[in-house]
Amino acid sequence: MKGVKALRDTIAAISSPKGTGAIAIIRIDGEKSHEIAKKLSGMSKIEEYRKVYHRSLLYNNELLDDVNIVFYKSPNSYTGNDLVEIYCHGGILVTHKILDVILKSGARLAERGEFTKRAFLNGKLSLIQAEAIYQIIEAKSEMSLKISLENLKGKLGKEIEDYRERLLKILAEIEVSIDYPDDIESDVELIFKELVAISNIIDKKVENSKKGLHLSSGIVMTIVGKPNSGKSTLLNRLLYEDRAIVTDIPGTTRDVIKGEIDINGIHFIIADTAGIRETDDFVEKIGIERSLNEVKKSDIILFVLDSSTGFTEEDEYIYEKIKDYNFIPVWNKCDFGKKVNRFENISVKISALSGEGLRDLEMKILERVEDIVKSGESSHVTTQRQLEILERVKMHLNNARENFEKGFELDIISIDIRKALDELDILVGRKFGEDLLDTIFSNFCVGK
Ligand SMILES: Nc1nc2c(ncn2[C@@H]2O[C@H](COP(=O)(O)OP(=O)(O)OP(=O)(O)O)[C@@H](O)[C@H]2O)c(=O)[nH]1
Ligand SMILES: [Mg+2]
């Protein structure tokens, strides 16, 4: 923290997206925010806070715009400081002229995420809530949006508070046991039980968080199959756009082509790949290597088969490569051919060309990713930073548990519990360093 001044000096920024819109929002925060806005709007006194005032903004007698202004009085604002929001017309020029005048009147341009950083430093938000705000803005799927909203509402924070309290209680009981070592045989038993219980909860949370984090960036789905089976046609169909080149020449797709889709609110990163076959063509070979590489990174694979040719040796070759992965056999061109001679019961029959069977395929995909989705739905941490900390909590608690089992002294065991507690404090932002805050808030946009 650069001292209290850094928290209260006057900053301003455009908080709405760049570009033209119906309305733009300019925020001013800090000591001089009210004074600046009053001067520009010709208001001698603020009658009421959090009320919308319709005023003209003037600077050196020049009319800047007709705007709505809301004044927030510390501590009842987003940042906890005196804050002003100006809603002006959403033109690029008009917005920048107003910001310019505000800066000339004594504000400085806000850094990325500085409003939210102030909210955190003023105790309006926990670090987890501040991070949740960023996640809400960035959310790509309904599910990650839902989890981030829950985290903003404090769900995760409360859970972590609960872990903290339970660990503190364990520490207190260890103290008692050390002070009164005689009558505590059964208490030690209880302490151990509680330690195991909470370390199990954290283990589970780490596991769910990993899956959840993965989920929020998108489930990775790869389309593979022999050349000409209709993979690119399927990609285009799933994306509702002509992304990949489709021809009847086998070996058309050479590189991996990616797109993103939502199916029932779940986000997928989907990759079309070069048709896999044995070939002497140098470029095609590289493409095929890339296809096989994509397979390794996939959560789910769509194995596209051609029902006009039936299952061939080429398909067998591909099957050998993907059989240990989570794959769905997809018999394509069902409008055209009927040679469905493998995976009869577990496959989906579609026509990528006409769209027939696509809904069945989507349902099958959802069925297959159900496990990933379920763990992603439960409350979890949503950033890499949070996950790394939680993993350290897990490690310390597992150490404590092992030391207990090895019969170590209670005060040795309490060292690891304290370390776990420290990490939990860092997680919610009870303890923090300036560089940590810089890293977190520099991801935000200006004006947030
Ligand atoms: N009748 C019919 N033709 C299809 C269907 N899907 C794709 N095709 C045709 O099959 C040919 C190959 O389609 P692509 O989508 O390019 O096949 P691919 O699997 O991407 O081929 P490569 O990139 O060469 O590996 C094209 O002529 C498509 O129009 C389908 O469901 N029915
Ligand atoms: Mg293709």
Q: Quick one: average pLDDT of 100-106?
A: 97
Other Cβ atoms closer than 10 A to 285: 13
Per-residue pLDDT at 184 exceeds 80 = no
In this structure, the answer to whether residues 36 and 102 fall within a common structural domain is: yes
Q: Quick one: average pLDDT of 106-119?
A: 95
Choice from 222, 226, 228 to test ligand 1 binding pocket (greatest atom count within 8 A of CB):
228
- For residue 268, tell me if it sits in a domain: yes
Helical segments of 218-279, H only: 231-239
What pLDDT, on the 0 to 100 scale, is given for residue 442? Answer: 85
375 vs 63, residue with greater confidence: 63
In this structure, the answer to whether residues 328 and 358 fall within a common structural domain is: yes
Position 144 confidence tier, pLDDT thresholds 50, 70, 90: confident
Instruction: Compute the distance from residue 215 Cα to the ligand 2 centre, in Å.
Output: 27
- For residue 436, tell me if it sits in a domain: no
C-alpha to C-alpha distance for 423 and 440, rounded to whole angstroms = 17
C-alpha to C-alpha distance for 28 and 108, rounded to whole angstroms = 9
Name the residue at shortest CA distance from atom 27 of ligand 1. 248
In this structure, the answer to whether residues 317 and 377 fall within a common structural domain is: yes
| Torsion angles phi and psi, residue 114, rounded to 5 | -70, -35
Per-residue pLDDT at 1 exceeds 50 = no
What pLDDT, on the 0 to 100 scale, is given for residue 4? Answer: 47
**Positions of E strands within 210-278:** 219-225, 257-263, 266-272
Q: Quick one: average pLDDT of 275-290?
A: 91
Domain that holds residue 11: 3-125
Position 146 confidence tier, pLDDT thresholds 50, 70, 90: confident
In this structure, the answer to whether residues 226 and 368 fall within a common structural domain is: yes
What pLDDT, on the 0 to 100 scale, is given for residue 119? Answer: 94
Residue pointed to by tokens 């990528």: 352
Average model confidence (pLDDT) across the chain: 91
248 Cα nearest atom in ligand 1: 27
Percentage of residues of the chain with pLDDT beyond 90: 70
- For residue 65, tell me if it sits in a domain: yes
In this structure, the answer to whether residues 291 and 165 fall within a common structural domain is: yes
CA angle 150, 156, 161 (to 5 degrees): 145
Q: What is the pTM for the complete model shown?
A: 0.73
What pLDDT, on the 0 to 100 scale, is given for residue 389? Answer: 95
310 vs 439, residue with greater confidence: 310
C-alpha to C-alpha distance for 39 and 58, rounded to whole angstroms = 8
CB 212 within 8 A of CB 148: no
* Last residue of one domain, picked from the residues 101, 125, 149: 125
Q: What is the DSSP letter of 61?
A: T
Per-residue pLDDT at 24 exceeds 90 = yes
Cβ 74 under 6 angstroms from ligand 1: no
pLDDT tens readout for residues 310-337: 999 999 999 999 999 999 999 999 999 8
- For residue 141, tell me if it sits in a domain: yes
What pLDDT, on the 0 to 100 scale, is given for residue 14? Answer: 97
431 vs 93, residue with greater confidence: 93
In this structure, the answer to whether residues 74 and 114 fall within a common structural domain is: yes
C-alpha to C-alpha distance for 249 and 245, rounded to whole angstroms = 11
C-alpha to C-alpha distance for 64 and 247, rounded to whole angstroms = 57
Percentage of residues of the chain with pLDDT beyond 70: 97
Per-residue pLDDT at 296 exceeds 90 = yes
What pLDDT, on the 0 to 100 scale, is given for residue 256? Answer: 94
Q: Which ligand is nearest to the CA of 274?
A: 1
* Last residue of one domain, picked from the residues 125, 155, 172: 125
Instruction: Compute the distance from residue 217 Cα to the ligand 2 centre, in Å.
Output: 25
Name the residue at shortest CA distance from atom 8 of ligand 1. 230
What pLDDT, on the 0 to 100 scale, is given for residue 36? Answer: 98
CA torsion 258-259-263-266 (nearest 10°) is 80
Cβ 414 under 6 angstroms from ligand 1: no
Q: Quick one: average pLDDT of 146-166?
A: 90
Lowest mean pLDDT among 8-12, 42-46, 349-353, 370-374: 370-374
C-alpha to C-alpha distance for 204 and 69, rounded to whole angstroms = 48
| DSSP H or E segment with residue 96 | helix 92-104
CATH number at residue 132: 3.40.50.300
In this structure, the answer to whether residues 55 and 169 fall within a common structural domain is: no
In this structure, the answer to whether residues 31 and 112 fall within a common structural domain is: yes
Cβ 307 under 6 angstroms from ligand 1: no
- For residue 447, tell me if it sits in a domain: no
In this structure, the answer to whether residues 367 and 379 fall within a common structural domain is: yes
254 Cα nearest atom in ligand 1: 23
One-letter amino acid at 215 equals: L
C-alpha to C-alpha distance for 150 and 325, rounded to whole angstroms = 33
For the chain, report the end-to-end CA distance as a whole number of angstroms. 19
C-alpha to C-alpha distance for 70 and 296, rounded to whole angstroms = 54
CATH number at residue 104: 3.30.1360.120
C-alpha to C-alpha distance for 68 and 85, rounded to whole angstroms = 8
In this structure, the answer to whether residues 117 and 153 fall within a common structural domain is: no
Name the residue at shortest CA distance from atom 14 of ligand 1. 230
Counting Cα atoms < 13 Å in the Cβ hemisphere of 76 gives: 8
Q: Quick one: average pLDDT of 73-98?
A: 96
* Last residue of one domain, picked from the residues 125, 153, 182: 125
What pLDDT, on the 0 to 100 scale, is given for residue 175? Answer: 86
Q: Quick one: average pLDDT of 371-400?
A: 87
- For residue 375, tell me if it sits in a domain: yes
Instruction: Compute the distance from residue 274 Cα to the ligand 1 centre, in Å.
Output: 12
| DSSP H or E segment with residue 41 | helix 33-41
In this structure, the answer to whether residues 71 and 174 fall within a common structural domain is: no
- For residue 448, tell me if it sits in a domain: no
Residue 246: closest CA among 235, 256, 238: 235
Q: Quick one: average pLDDT of 183-203?
A: 86
In this structure, the answer to whether residues 75 and 135 fall within a common structural domain is: no
**Number of domains making up the chain:** 2
